Amino acid sequence: MEITAAPTLAGRLAQFALAVRYDALPPATIAAAKRVLLDTLGCALGAVASEPARIVAACLPRSAEKTATIIGSGVRTSAENAALVNGVLARFLDFMDVYSAREVCHPSENVPVAFACTEAAGGSGRALLEAVVAGYEAQLRLAHAFGFHAIGMHHVSAAGFVVPLIAGKAWGMGAEQIAHAVSLSGMRHLTLHVLAKGHLSMAKAVGYPLSAMEGIFATRLAARGFTAPGEALEWLLQAVPAKPGTPSPEALDLDCSRYLIERVSLKQFPVQFELQTPVEIAIRLHRRLAPRIASIVRVVVEVLSKTKERTADPAKFRPENRETADHSLPVCVAMALLDGKLEPAQFEAGRWRDSGVLALAARTEVVASPTLEARVPGGRPAALTVELDDGTRISDAEDIPLGDAARPMDEPALERKFGTLARPVLGARRTRRVIAAVCAIEDIADIGELMRLLKRSRSQARN
């Protein structure tokens, strides 16, 4: 069934979100939503000790409302505050999901919003699934219809338009109120693309959550009758410079008969999405080279031209911080070649600044490959050639990284990823309980039950 067009795009999005109902969701869609829930919770738990999260938590505005839970600490606060801190946690490791269309985005940034707003409403697991699917579908369809980068903005700008849909749905608001919330929030949250250029910063972790925080507040205003300019999205589309392929309002596909969440990709490494393939290859080469790793004199990495542009600019060869390091192709490949793995612990230990890693990164040449462009347009292929000091050359290639929607992780692999991130915080027993709870989340009457499991255990807090 296709949603009947409303006078504005915000109105159409509101009707679309309200039309998402658990009982009408296909089993594959529900399974996909559970996968991203578990994956996002793992990413958040793995970042509970991160500096950005600690800073944000220390600066939260005081709130008399104690309706939503912060992951790790278990502190009860407002939906706005919980969405902010949990959003930073989910984003920090750069381990979350990814979707690529006209725009690349990380739709899991909507999961902390869905948790906060559903918990604040005393909602069930089914209500949470509905909110998650509504948020994902709205953002993914915007990613197909519109590229914020076309006007110099970052893809987290979508938060202003998507977050009120999640909050309004969780809080039982009507379509007209939600439409006002979408326009009120959306007109405020166009984020400059400098967020992801050159030397990166902690801002990478807070781009979406800050807008989400205010988007939830804008939804509260709209629920009380606060009005907004109705055609915020129409204005945005008209602001895009005229050129072939410029989207129009008709490009926003709001067909409820299919769900894009099933086509979201997950990551096996805590690095930028285009680095998944070269890192996977580098780890395979490490196993083949084994005792000859120290003999590497040159590394050539072939990727798509856009990958080279985004991950191998001069700032990426000598990163100044962790945020830049996990977006650096030469440094991440060097770490994977030398260590045979790429895990959060290596970044936490500052392995990326090690002299051996930087020396190998300096001997790495990144090449834009027309062959890869022709064979896998729009994909994430890569090829690596390692040259040793005796002239030996060893090569390997991969078109699709593990975790991609076309080559998905199986359930055991996803649970291993979650367990690796969660056990240091929750302990082994509670980690298993969270996995079981997410697998049967539709049976949870109050999502607060799950949130209470996400508090750091006393034994782990002492470690």
Q: What is the pLDDT of residue 146?
A: 80
Amino acid code (one letter) for 457: S
- Residue 199, judged by CB atoms within 10 A of its CB (0-12, 13-18, 19+), counts as middle
- Domains of the chain, start order: 9-263 (1.10.4100.10), 273-398 (3.30.1330.120)
Alpha carbon distances (Å) from 342 to 82, 94, 360, 389, 408: 30, 12, 16, 25, 19
Amino acid code (one letter) for 250: E
Judged by phi (left if over 0) then psi (alpha if -120 to 50, else beta), residue 350 lies in left
Q: What is the pLDDT of residue 259?
A: 95
- Residue 76, judged by CB atoms within 10 A of its CB (0-12, 13-18, 19+), counts as middle
Enclosing H/E stretch for 301: strand 296-303
Alpha carbon distances (Å) from 323 to 56, 205, 272, 326, 449: 17, 9, 10, 6, 33
Walk along the chain (463 residues) and give the pLDDT tens digit of each residue.
344 444 799 999 999 999 999 999 999 999 999 999 999 999 999 999 999 999 999 999 999 999 999 999 999 999 999 999 999 999 999 999 999 988 899 999 999 999 999 999 999 999 999 999 999 999 999 998 888 888 888 889 999 999 999 999 999 999 999 999 999 999 988 888 888 887 889 999 999 999 999 999 999 999 999 999 988 888 877 765 544 445 555 568 888 788 999 999 999 999 999 999 999 999 999 999 988 999 999 999 999 999 999 999 999 999 999 999 999 999 999 999 999 999 999 999 999 999 999 999 999 999 999 999 999 888 899 999 999 999 999 999 999 999 999 999 999 999 999 999 999 999 999 999 999 999 999 999 999 999 999 999 776 655 5
Helical ranges in 314-404 per DSSP H: 322-325, 329-339, 344-348, 355-362, 370-375
CB contact at 8 A, 13 and 165: yes
Q: What is the pLDDT of residue 199?
A: 86
Q: What is the pLDDT of residue 461?
A: 56
Q: What is the pLDDT of residue 196?
A: 81
Tokens at residue 29, please? 């869609």
Query: CA angle, corner 274, sides to 273 and 279, nearest 5?
Result: 95
The residue among 24, 442, 83, 424 whose CA lies nearest residue 256 is 24
For residue 38, the tally of other CB atoms under 10 A from its CB is: 23
Strand locations in 7-118 (E)? 68-69, 76-77, 99-100, 104-105
Q: What is the pLDDT of residue 4?
A: 44
Tokens at residue 353, please? 């600044």
Q: What is the pLDDT of residue 243?
A: 44
Alpha carbon 22 to its chain centroid, in Å, reads 23
**Half-sphere exposure of residue 463, counting CA atoms within 13 Å on the CB side?**
11
CB contact at 8 A, 149 and 158: no
Q: What is the pLDDT of residue 248?
A: 54
CB contact at 8 A, 277 and 406: no
CA–CA separation, 118 vs 22, rounded Å?
Answer: 14
Tokens at residue 423, please? 């056990």
CB contact at 8 A, 215 and 114: no
What pTM was computed for the model?
A: 0.94
Q: What is the pLDDT of residue 189?
A: 87
